[in-house]
Amino acid sequence: MICSTHGIVASSRVSTASLILDGLPASAGAYSLRLLRAGHTGLPVCRVRESGGNTEANIGTVNGELDTVALLAFVGANNGFVVTWYDQSGNARNATQATAANQPRIVNAGVVELNSGKPSINFNGTNWLDFTSASNLTTVSAVFKKDSASGIIQYVIAGIQQGLAAGGNSFPNILMFNSWLAESSINTSLPVITTTVISAGTATLFINGISRATAGSATDVNLSRIGTRPDGVGLAHFGKTSEIVLSTSSFSTADRQALEANQQTFYNI
């Protein structure tokens, strides 16, 4: 049981037999509003600030999913904002935002933000969460949805990338660069599963398990922010993000497909 400093109980009760990250290569960072790894059982998945009195509480899971009862009991009819999105990888790479105006929203006037029926975090282009840099990543996976069908994929997760020859852009977005994916590939009526495996100098983009693009010379990926570019320049994320997994281990095809299938099932894709 996890108790917040304000008396809100956010419990974690779940069979750990089927937690997806337990059967995959070790993650460098894992952010979700569901339980991803048995080692995180009993711990909160996020810390939330309510707008009425600006108090904060840790929120955990029930049966492996965000404890929305505890969340709404704490936030009430106010708005709820994410102060910390806890890292479930065991690396303590928690994503945080101390400035209230820049915190993404998880509850809107007493209603939990949803993505395909599941709790999600809403970024409006001026919100972001920072975490200790994750370097030399070989696999990055995320579940997110854009607010608008126009434009290219925005910066769901970003950082400085060295040695990128394709496109000349030193700031990656969610897994690939903006120029690598046409806007027509994104369907805003559904959340999008995007997994990139970066190996042997190449990066390949998958959407819902389907390969969409490949570009060369992607090396030393170094990510440190969810929501905007670290330099504050250029596009920012407008939309809802539900899950991000980072790994320094190259996923096999079977590992990637297992993660994608699990995400697609959980998020009703």
- The CATH number of whichever domain residue 231 belongs to comes to 2.60.120.200
Percentage of residues in the chain having pLDDT higher than 70: 67
Q: 214: buried, middle or exposed (CB in 10 Å: 19+, 13-18, 0-12)?
A: middle
Mean pLDDT of 126-135: 88
Percentage of residues in the chain having pLDDT higher than 90: 45
Mean pLDDT of 116-145: 86
Number of domains present in the structure of the chain:
1
105, 227 Cβ separation under 8 angstroms: no
1-20: pLDDT as tens digits: 334 444 344 444 333 447 99
Instruction: Return d(Cα 212, Cα 205) in angstroms, integer.
Output: 6
Higher per-residue pLDDT: 63 or 164: 63
In this prediction the pTM is 0.85
Which range marks the domain in which residue 61 is found?
2-18+25-266
Instruction: Return d(Cα 128, Cα 103) in angstroms, integer.
Output: 6
Characterize 138-165 residue by residue with b for buried, 16 or more Cβ atoms within 10 angstroms of its Cβ, and e for exposed.
bbbbbbbbbbeeeebbbbbbbbbbeebe
Per-residue pLDDT at 194: 60
Measured from the Cβ of residue 69, the count of other Cβ atoms closer than 10 Å reads 14
Instruction: Return d(Cα 240, Cα 33) in angstroms, integer.
Output: 12
Higher per-residue pLDDT: 37 or 230: 37
Mean pLDDT of 83-87: 98
Per-residue pLDDT at 153: 53
Here the tokens at position 73 are: 């009991």
